[in-house]
Amino acid sequence: MKTDDVVIEVKKLKKAYGKNQVLKGIDLKVQRGTMLALLGPNGAGKTTTVKILSTLLKADDGVAKIEGIDVSEDPDAVRRVIGLTGQSAAVDELLTGRENLVMMGELYRLTRKSAKARAQELLEDFDLVKAADRPAKTYSGGMRRRLDLAVSLIAIPPVIFLDEPTTGLDPRSRLAMWEIIRRLMDSGTTILLTTQYLEEADQLADKIVVIDGGKVIAEGTAEELKGKVGNDRLEIGFANASDLNKAKSAIGKNVFASNDKENSITVMVKDTNTDIKDTLNLLSDKKIKVTAVDVHKPTLDDVFLSLTGKTDKKSTEGEK
Amino acid sequence: MAVELEFSKSPRFLQLLNDSVVMIRRSSTHIFRNTDQLLGAFFQPIMFLLLFSAVFGGAISLALPENVDYLDFLMAGIIVQTVAFGSTTTAVAVANDLSKGIVDRFKSLPMSNIALLNGHVVSDLLRNTISTVVMILAGLVIGFRSPASVTDWFLIAALLLLFTFAFSWLSAVVGLLAKSVEGVQWISFVMVFPLTFASTAFVPAEGMPKYLRYFAEHQPITQVIEAVRSLMLGVPTNGSVLRSILWSIGITVVVIPIAAYLFKKKTTN
């Protein structure tokens, strides 16, 4: 296994729906056995990218190769090496979990015997043994997603696309899903994950590519990206506009954003240990009265704010 | 991973055939898991048979030749009507698949995509066979009798299967064209209801207004009904068997390429 082996390669990928240019030239590279997270708000072009890579859509321009095979030249060959878990759980609701797995296995051209054995193994791995012989429509949201992911692994494809695998899941199911994805990574599978959640990309991915409006706006490891947006955020509220302005001039360039309507500011915290205390002491020394204090982790919104200088309302709605 | 995977080494055409077998198994399983389909296959035919024979029997038997019992006359009509309505299940099933993520899944697999349609059409044949057998049994219970020979029954079965096959493919086209599942149900109804009622399914065409009678006597469903009825009653078929075969084959030959074209267009973008 070569470490410089590129499994997914995307160059200048473009796609428009009518006048709406969804992808404006995306470049990606995913090394063998690593996970790349495509991070961005709704409408950024994440799903469109995955659809093109998994042969569901044709690109207008640019090149996309999986294992060196061009997706537009030989889609069937690409289909043999990929697994796709889309946003809507794509399982047959009237069939049982086991029947779904065996059916998809056979459609991947496994022998029936082999498909059955592999189905049993996946049901055990994904904690679905008890529900194996119940129709999938009786499954909970988390179970359905697990089945959906299991289905895409039936023929052990070397490349997996996970399109927002945890969107809409409750926190416990999300953690269970992360655990499964980590095991998948340990097995050496190359993964492209899309997500709206910085934390998810942070927890799982080797490398993160941030996209917005169909363009790559930043890429790097989770650490590198967080370095750009700082660590924690300190939000301070004031009684009136004059206190707010006094505070702004006292804190200076560390003010990350200010909200004049609510008389509040957001301050970047580089070192949680000292910066919060120092900032509040500074305000107290200047006799500026503080009415509210809140510390929070950087959200996708903060990443966008710092990368593009604009807030994206949709992305925050998705997180709350 | 513990399990050693074994991929099929069959020739490509056998693999493509197996895709259809897998999808037929899927759609056929749906018949027994979906309450709507089960009710449609078992109870609706019995209900129609009992209602029509009881409600119309007395009035219409006056318009029939003296030695023909209404139940014996009705049997062919009600079977063909049930089978025609039953075929529209394909339209609903196709529209349903298209409206869900599962079509994306199938498209991302190295399978033959048309196998999806084959699965729905062939499971229609199975469900319609069940309905027909149920209706004939129920008919026998309430007094249906037929002088038809074993050969006649084989011919009846063949005509009905051929007709179902044609209508299921037509129905697949409806499913591919419609924008929503509700739309499909409505279009199917508007398509099948006039064809089955403006036919000789329930009453002889003699009493209909001139133009309606012309339509009723020449449209495809009437040919199938007449052929099946003549065979069941043991009277001369007057060419209706051949006409019904030609109609069914004609519809199939026209509609399959259209369905394949629409499906390809819908699933590649």
User: How far, in whole angstroms, is CA A10 from its chain's centroid?
Assistant: 18
**B158 min Cα distance to partner chain A (Å):** 31
Please tell me if residue B47 touches chain A, with a CB cutoff of 8 Å.
no
Inter-chain CB proximity B104 and A57 less than 8 Å: no
Inter-chain CB proximity A79 and B109 less than 8 Å: yes
Q: Is residue B6 part of a domain?
A: no
Please tell me if residue A98 touches chain B, with a CB cutoff of 8 Å.
no
Q: Which segment of A65-79, A136-150, A287-301 scores lowest on mean pLDDT?
A: A287-301
Instruction: Tell me the per-residue pLDDT of B96-107, one tens digit each, with 9 for 90 and over.
Output: 998 887 888 898
Inter-chain CB proximity B105 and A187 less than 8 Å: no
**A208 min Cα distance to partner chain B (Å):** 25
**A89 min Cα distance to partner chain B (Å):** 7
Q: Chain A contacts of B268, Cβ < 8 Å?
A: 58
Please tell me if residue A87 touches chain B, with a CB cutoff of 8 Å.
yes
Domains of chain A as residue ranges with CATH:
6-227 (3.40.50.300), 231-297 (3.30.70)
What's the confidence (pLDDT) of residue A50? 93
What's the confidence (pLDDT) of residue A251? 85
Q: How confident is the model at residue B206 (pLDDT cuts 50, 70, 90)?
A: confident
Asked whether the beta carbons of A216 and A312 are under 8 A apart, the reply is: no
Inter-chain CB proximity B34 and A55 less than 8 Å: no
Asked whether the beta carbons of B251 and B220 are under 8 A apart, the reply is: yes
Rg (CA), chain B: 20
The predicted model gives B70-85 an average pLDDT of: 92
Q: Chain B contacts of A155, Cβ < 8 Å?
A: 5, 7
Q: What are phi and psi of B161, to 5 degrees?
A: -65, -40
Please tell me if residue A94 touches chain B, with a CB cutoff of 8 Å.
yes
Residues 6+ apart with CB under 8 A from B195: B84, B219, B220, B221
Q: Chain A contacts of B34, Cβ < 8 Å?
A: 94
Q: How far is residue B104's CA from residue A86's CA, in Å, rounded to a whole number? A: 8
Inter-chain CB proximity B101 and A135 less than 8 Å: no
**A220 min Cα distance to partner chain B (Å):** 29
B116 three-state secondary structure: helix
3-62 in A: which are within 8 Å (CB) of B? 51, 54-58
Instruction: Tell me the per-residue pLDDT of A197-238, one tens digit each, with 9 for 90 and over.
Output: 888 888 899 999 999 889 998 888 887 877 776 667 888 999
Q: How confident is the model at residue A70 (pLDDT cuts 50, 70, 90)?
A: very high
Q: Is residue B185 part of a domain?
A: yes
Q: How confident is the model at residue A89 (pLDDT cuts 50, 70, 90)?
A: low
**A84 min Cα distance to partner chain B (Å):** 7
Asked whether the beta carbons of A92 and A100 are under 8 A apart, the reply is: yes
Give the domain extent around B188.
Answer: 15-267
Q: Chain A contacts of B107, Cβ < 8 Å?
A: 55-56
Q: How confident is the model at residue B60 (pLDDT cuts 50, 70, 90)?
A: confident
What's the confidence (pLDDT) of residue A254? 77
DSSP tag of B7: B
What's the confidence (pLDDT) of residue A224? 80
Please tell me if residue A149 touches chain B, with a CB cutoff of 8 Å.
no
Side chain identity at residue B119, one-letter code: G
Given the structure tokens 């604009």, which residue do they identify? A310
Q: Which has the closest alpha carbon to A105: B124, B199, B105?
A: B105
Inter-chain CB proximity B18 and A151 less than 8 Å: no
Asked whether the beta carbons of A43 and A314 are under 8 A apart, the reply is: yes
**B8 min Cα distance to partner chain A (Å):** 5
Question: What's the mean pLDDT when you consider all of chain A?
Answer: 86
Quote the ipTM score.
Answer: 0.88
Instruction: Tell me the per-residue pLDDT of B115-142, one tens digit each, with 9 for 90 and over.
Output: 999 999 999 999 999 999 999 999 999 9
Q: Which segment of A129-133, A160-164, A250-254, A302-306 scores lowest on mean pLDDT?
A: A302-306
Residues 6+ apart with CB under 8 A from B48: B78, B81, B82
What's the confidence (pLDDT) of residue B67? 81
The predicted model gives A25-48 an average pLDDT of: 91
Q: How confident is the model at residue B156 (pLDDT cuts 50, 70, 90)?
A: very high
User: How far, in whole angstroms, is CA A45 from its chain's centroid?
Assistant: 12
Total beta-carbon pairs less than 8 A apart between chain A and chain B: 93
The predicted model gives B52-79 an average pLDDT of: 86
Q: Which of A95, A152, A156 sits opposite B5 (nearest CB)?
A: A156
Q: Which of A84, A101, A106 is most worth mutating to test chain B (most B CB atoms within 10 A of its CB)?
A: A106
What's the confidence (pLDDT) of residue B12? 86
Say if residue B110's pLDDT is above 90: no
A219 three-state secondary structure: strand
Say if residue A48's pLDDT is above 70: yes
Number of other CB atoms surrounding residue A307 within 10 Å: 15
What's the confidence (pLDDT) of residue A297? 74
Q: Is residue B55 part of a domain?
A: yes
Inter-chain CB proximity A92 and B26 less than 8 Å: yes
Q: Is residue B7 part of a domain?
A: no
The predicted model gives B55-75 an average pLDDT of: 85
Say if residue A2's pLDDT is above 80: no
Inter-chain CB proximity A110 and B110 less than 8 Å: no
Q: Which has the closest alpha carbon to B41: B109, B168, B133, B122?
A: B133
Inter-chain CB proximity B105 and A55 less than 8 Å: no
Q: Which of B22, B30, B100 sits opposite A88 (nearest CB)?
A: B100
Say if residue A191's pLDDT is above 80: yes
Q: Is residue B170 part of a domain?
A: yes
Say if residue A19's pLDDT is above 50: yes
Inter-chain CB proximity B8 and A155 less than 8 Å: no
Asked whether the beta carbons of B77 and B232 are under 8 A apart, the reply is: no
Q: Chain B contacts of A111, Cβ < 8 Å?
A: 6-8
Q: How confident is the model at residue A318 (pLDDT cuts 50, 70, 90)?
A: very low
Q: What percent of chain B has pLDDT over 70?
A: 99
Q: How confident is the model at residue A314 (pLDDT cuts 50, 70, 90)?
A: very low
- CA dihedral sign of residues B209, B210, B214, B217: positive
Say if residue A310's pLDDT is above 60: no
What's the confidence (pLDDT) of residue A315? 41
Q: Chain B contacts of A117, Cβ < 8 Å?
A: 3
What's the confidence (pLDDT) of residue B38? 84
Question: What's the mean pLDDT when you consider all of chain B?
Answer: 90
Total structural domains within chain B: 1
Inter-chain CB proximity A94 and B108 less than 8 Å: no
What's the confidence (pLDDT) of residue A317? 39
Q: Which pTM value belongs to this model?
A: 0.82
Say if residue A312's pLDDT is above 70: no
What's the confidence (pLDDT) of residue B4? 78
Q: Is residue B8 part of a domain?
A: no
97-116 in B: which are within 8 Å (CB) of A? 100-102, 104-111
User: How far, in whole angstroms, is CA B59 from its chain's centroid?
Assistant: 29
Q: Chain A contacts of B114, Cβ < 8 Å?
A: none
Q: What percent of chain B has pLDDT over 90?
A: 58
User: How far, in whole angstroms, is CA B155 from its chain's centroid?
Assistant: 16
The predicted model gives B21-43 an average pLDDT of: 89
Q: Which residue has the higher pLDDT, B265 or A1?
A: B265
A296 three-state secondary structure: strand
Say if residue A299's pLDDT is above 70: no
What's the confidence (pLDDT) of residue B84? 93
